[in-house]
Structure 1
């Protein structure tokens, strides 16, 4: 999808959902990392993350567009356009717009601990990625001695 097609899509969603025209610029912005889109207060333009379309499809893209149009129309009308404002939340519900975008980054897998230590007194386990000097540290719960019980190579 090109910026021109995005512009047309946003204009049609604005007319259909809000009954009001979108009169400013819409474009894709590859530099957006974690957010699906943003509304710029300074020039009233809307920027959309192209990953929304690539990862989640057109339906999610339309949801992000509706969300940004809620900001846009409320700001133009001089009403509460911020996420915390009642006007914004009411308009989100009225237009069936999503409050948040689905995640655009893949979740990182947790690294398994390579070293497991145990307190000799209270048996509390300490799981660590890096090796620790058991002569230097004591148990945080009972101040007992710590010993290594498992080292995965």
Structure 2
């Protein structure tokens, strides 16, 4: 798993699929996590052209295809399993190499697809939390493994 975390966090850019303005949703919390760790992150949300996170407006991108140079991104996914399946197909076709499926974003079929089709697919059992690998719980360890330093506010 260390090698996968290193690869995921060695990407020059990140995308959060399912990013949201709603502070009660994990798409909001995960996007805010990337921002607070000073990582270059793009919110993916096909329904809203702008989201508000940490008191700032952020322009969204509708799909992985719309990202500039998609292979340079690692993508965190916080969408329902039925949405995740289609999203992962788009991400693969766009050239994204590493994905992190947050707890609740996948079922068995989606997890098998991700593990088969992506160079790195972080998901499922493991991590330090009780629900599996989660950026909010395991991300800082991943940053450390990848040698990415960040300043705590």
TM-score range, shorter chain: under 0.3
Q: TM-score, normalised by structure 2?
A: 0.23
Q: TM-score, normalised by structure 1?
A: 0.23
Q: Which has the higher contact order (CA 8 A, sep 6+)?
A: 2
Higher CA-based Rg = 1
Structure (1 or 2) with the greater helix fraction = 2
